[in-house]
Amino acid sequence: MQIVLASTSRYRQEIIARLGLPFHAEPPVCDETPLPGETALETALRLARAKAQSLAEKHPQALIIGSDQVALLDGQQIGKPGSFENGVKMLQWMSGRTVVFHSALALYNSAEGRLQETVGITRVTLRELSEAQIRNYLEREPDALHCAGSAKSEGLGGALLERVESDDPNALIGVPLFKLITMLANEGVEILR
């Protein structure tokens, strides 16, 4: 069965590629705006599910992977900053604090109409950061502006972090890989065959 990743994120593609399975990636058709009153976990799950199911008509015989990540601090969802100055403000707010990242994963079997979904929780404590350190980081790691809260842990962003607590280190980068392996096995796809 064909495997499709509903994402244009090169980081998610790199994680999936580690499994050594043939797959291809394409953009999902999905409005990523959080709904009023929705928790971070609910937003992440809804968007992962919507991304996976958005490609079902185009791929009626596929296993479609959808993923979404929502960060939470003080009860507020933290999105992608979109601009350098917004990135500075976000990181100043997060400095010295613990942010909870909800990394949702959905696997949709479009032939059977079967959906599996889960959320990986990662608690990230940032170091106390000066404005100069934050600006230097964002100048040196411009891709961070496309990450929730500008915290791109897989690059220079590792220097921002004091501690990471998770049952899967891949979840922080965008895909709970350990759980995906189980989901694929449930669909008859064995990684170590």
Distance, CA of 178 to CA of 183 (rounded, Å) = 9
Distance, CA of 142 to CA of 84 (rounded, Å) = 8
Whether 74 is catalytic = no
Give the active site residue among 31, 68, 74, 168: 68
Classify 175 in phi/psi space as left (phi over 0), alpha (psi -120 to 50) or beta.
beta
| Number of Cβ within a 10 Å radius of residue 12 | 20
Chain centroid to Cα 119, Å, comes to: 10
Tell me the catalytic residues.
68
